[in-house]
Amino acid sequence: MSSDQPSAHFEGTGATPLAGVGTVRWYEPGRDLSLGEPPAESETDTATEMERFETAREQARTELETERERTAEAIGEEEAAVFDAHKQFVDDPQIVESVEEAIDGGLPAEYAVGEAFEDPIAQFEGMDGRMSERADDLRDVRDRLLRLLTSGERVDLAELPAGTILLAERLTPSETAQLDPDRVAGFATVVGGRTSHAAIFARSLGIPAVVGVGDALETIEEGATVLVDGEAGTVTVDPTDAQREQAATSRDVEIREQPVATADGKEIEVAANVGTLAEVEAAVQQGADGVGLFRTEYLFLERDSPPTEDEQFETYRDALAAFPDGRVVVRTLDIGGDKQVPYLDLPEEENPFLGERGIRRSLGPDSDLFESQLRALLRAGAAEDGRLSVMFPMVATVPELEAALEMVESVAAELEREGIEYELPELGVMIETPSAVFLAEAFAERVDFLSIGTNDLTQYVMAADRENERVATLHEPTEPAVLRAIARTVEAGHAGNAWVGMCGEMAGNPAYTELLVGLGLDEFSMSAVTIPAVKEQITAIETDDAEALADRILEETTVDAVREHLEN
C-alpha cells in the first residue's frame, strides 16, 4: 500500500519518454564470475588451457552471431551492429596474445582472460564520449568468455517476471537486448548516459529507463516497489497512487493511425526515423504517417561490398509500399564521422566529425556509390504509390547542393536514355551545421524541403562533441543558441517556399512538442516508440498559444530559463 509521500527519490538521465511501476530485481552478474586465487603453476597444463580458450572463443562467436541476428530482427540493424564490435574484440590480436602469454606463464584460461582484459578496459574508461563506452563492450566480451570457461549459468533476462523493475550497476548491450518490454516495467542503472547502449536499446524497445543515477541507487532494496520515469529522469521508491496512475497513463497512449492536427486544425506530419525494413514495420504499427529519415548507411554495413542497385531498389520500394498514402524521406549515404564502412577504406582523421563525411564523400571518393543509390531511388519512386523524398546530409555550401542536384538530373537523363522508368522525387537538405542555418533560404529556393538534424546541429552550434560526456551539459537542444538556429531555419525555409521538418532526437520528446509547433515546424520525425505520445500532444495544442510560448522562449538566454517556460 503506497503512502502519501514517496520514501525516496533519485535523479538520473531519462532515456525513454515513458514511465513504469514494478517490483525491484537487482542484477549483479559479476558475483557469479568471481574467480578467487589461481591454482599453483604446477597444476596447470598449458596445452589444455590453450584449447579451452580457443573453444570458448568459438562458442562466443556463435553466441554473438545469434544475438546479432535476434537484435537486428527485434530492435534494428543500427543497434545490432554493436555485436560486430564484440566479435572483433574476441579476435583482437593484442587481447588474444595477452591471454596466450598469461597461459604460457602458468595461469588457467579463465584467469588469463581476466588479466588480459584489465588494461584495455581501464584505457577505454579513461577516454571521452563514445570511446569510454567501449569499456562496457570489453566487459561484455570478457564476462562472456569467463562464463563459458567456468560453465557459469547465464541469467535469462528475457524470462524476468512480469512487472520487473531491473536495477543494475550497468547493463551491457547483450544484456539489454534480452529484455522483454512485456515483462520489464522499466530499468535504472548506477552508471551510463543518454548515448549509452543501454539507453539506446531502451528507446528502441520502448522500455522506461533512467541511467546514471549514481551510487545512491544501490540503497534501493530487492523487492521494493519503484517507479521509473524515463521522461523526468527519476526513480521513486514507494510511489503514491497518483504517481502510479500517471505512470500507467504514460504507457497507455492511443495509437492514431491517421494524421493528426492541432486543436485549431493545423496539420502536423508525424513520421519515423528508421534504418531497416524491420523498423519500417514497427513505424507502421505505432501509427507513423510515413518515414521522415531512412538512414541508408545501414544497408551498407555488415557486408564485404556495397549493395547493388537492384538490392537498394527493392528496399526503397518496400519502404514506399508500407506507406502508400504517406511520404518516405530517404537520406543519401551518410558515411564518415562515427559511421565507418570497412570496405570503403575510409581515412583515419583526427576529428572525423569535422572531416570527410556525408555529401562530401558522395561528391568525392564515393561518387560511384552515390550515382548507384540515386538510380535505385529514382526507379523506386516510379514503382510505388508512396511519395518519395530524398535529402542530402552534411551540405554546408550552395555549390555542394548544386552539384548534388546536377547529379540527380544526370542520373534521370541516363535512365531516360536507357528506357528505364523513373520518377523525380522531392529533394531536400539536412540542416546540421551553422553554415546550413545561415544559407537555409538559399537552400530552400533550390529544393523542396529542409530537415533539421538536432543531434548534429546542437553539436556544431555548441562546439560540444555529442559523444563526450564531459561537455554533455552543452549538448542540449534547448540551449538558446540552438533554438534560435532552429527558428531561423524554419523562417528561412518557409521564405524559400520549402516545408521544414525535424528528424533529430528533440522531435521525439513530448516535452518539446508545443515549442516545436510554435516554432512553425511542418513535420516531426522520431523513434517509432514515441510517435503515439507526440501525436497525442499535438492534438491538445492551440497554435496561437504555442507560438506565444516560442516567442517567450526565444527571448531567453539560458537553458534554465527555457526549461522554466517548458515546465510551466
* CATH label, 1-250, candidates 3.40.50.2300, 1.10.10.10, 3.40.50.720, 3.50.30.10: 3.50.30.10
Identified catalytic residue from 9, 475, 503, 565:
503
The 10s digit of each residue's pLDDT in 112-164 is 998 999 888 888 777 655 556 678 788 889 988 988 998 776 677 888 999 99
The overall average pLDDT reported for the chain is 88
CATH architecture of the domain with range 264-567:
Alpha-Beta Barrel (3.20)
Distance of CA 14 to the CA centre of its chain: 14
CA dihedral (481, 483, 488, 494) in degrees, to 10, reads 170
At residue 501 the predicted structure's pLDDT band, cuts being 50, 70 and 90, is very high
Q: Give tens-digit pLDDT for 519-540.
A: 999 999 998 888 998 999 999 9
Residue 509 has pLDDT above 90, yes or no: no
pLDDT at position 301 is 73
Instruction: Please pick, among 9, 86, 197, 494, the residue that the annotation labels catalytic.
Output: 197
Q: pLDDT band for 408, please (50, 70, 90 cuts).
A: very high
Collect all residues with Cβ–Cβ distance below 8 Å to 5 and sequence separation of at least 6. Answer: 240
pLDDT at 199: 82
Write the pLDDT tens digit of every residue in 31-50: 555 666 777 666 778 999 99
pLDDT 10s digits, 453-494: 998 999 999 998 766 657 777 878 999 999 999 999 999 999
- Which amino acid does the sequence have at 180? D
pLDDT band per the 50, 70, 90 thresholds, residue 72: confident
C-alpha cell at 498: 520549402
**CA dist., res. 138 & res. 86, Å (int):** 7
Tell me which of 206-215, 261-270, 404-413 is least confident.
Answer: 206-215
* pLDDT for position 56: 92
- Name which of 66-70, 331-335, 561-565 the model is least confident about: 66-70
Nearest to 512 by CA among 453, 455, 457, 565: 565
Q: What is the DSSP letter of 259?
A: -
Higher pLDDT, 377 or 9: 377
The C-alpha cell of 482 is what?
540552438
Give residue 150's pLDDT.
86
Residue 338: pLDDT over 60: no
What is the signed CA dihedral for 452, 458, 460, 463, rounded to 10 degrees?
170
Tell me if 223 sits within 8 A of 233, measured CB to CB. no
Q: Left, alpha or beta for 227 (phi > 0: left; psi -120 to 50: alpha)?
A: beta
Going by C-alpha positions, the residue among 439, 432, 427 that lies closest to residue 397 is: 439
Q: 352 versus 284: which is more confidently predicted?
A: 284
- Angstrom CA distances, 467 to 470, 478, 526, 550, stand at 9, 18, 20, 29
Whole-number pLDDT of residue 485: 98
Q: Does the pLDDT of residue 2 top 50, yes or no?
A: no
What's the whole-number mean pLDDT along residues 88-110? 91
Give the model's confidence band at 1: pLDDT under 50 very low, under 70 low, under 90 confident, else very high: very low
DSSP string, 484-509: HHHHHHHHHHHHTT-EEEE-SGGGG-
Of 248, 327, 253, 250, the residue nearest 539 (C-alpha): 253
Residue type (1 letter), 388: L
Dihedral sign of CA atoms 10, 12, 14, 20 in order = negative
Average pLDDT in the 375-404 region? 96
pTM of this structure: 0.72
Domain limits, CATH 3.20.20.60, in the chain:
264-567
Which of 440, 397, 429, 555 is CA-nearest to residue 503? 429
Band (pLDDT 50/70/90 cuts) for residue 499 is very high
> H/E element holding 270?
strand 267-274
Range(s) of the chain covered by CATH 3.50.30.10: 1-250
Helix, strand counts (H, E) of the chain: 22, 17
Is there a catalytic annotation at residue 565? no
Tell me the DSSP string of 183-222: TEEEEEESS--TTSHHHHHHHHHT--EEE---GGGGGSPT
- The verdict on whether 86 is a catalytic residue reads no
Residue 497 has pLDDT above 70, yes or no: yes
Task: Identify the CA nearest to 422 among candidates 433, 430, 414.
Answer: 414
* 123 neighbors 109 (Cβ within 8 angstroms): no
* Statement: residue 518 has pLDDT above 90: yes
Maximum mean pLDDT: which of 38-47, 271-280, 433-442: 433-442
What digits encode the pLDDT tens for the residues 196-238?
Answer: 778 878 887 889 999 989 999 999 999 999 999 988 889 999 9
Instruction: Kindly state the average pLDDT of the residues 361-378.
Output: 95
pLDDT of residue 131: 59
Cell digits for 142? Answer: 570478457
Q: What's the Cα-to-Cα distance from 406 to each of 1, 363, 368, 402, 412, rounded to whole Å?
A: 68, 11, 14, 6, 10
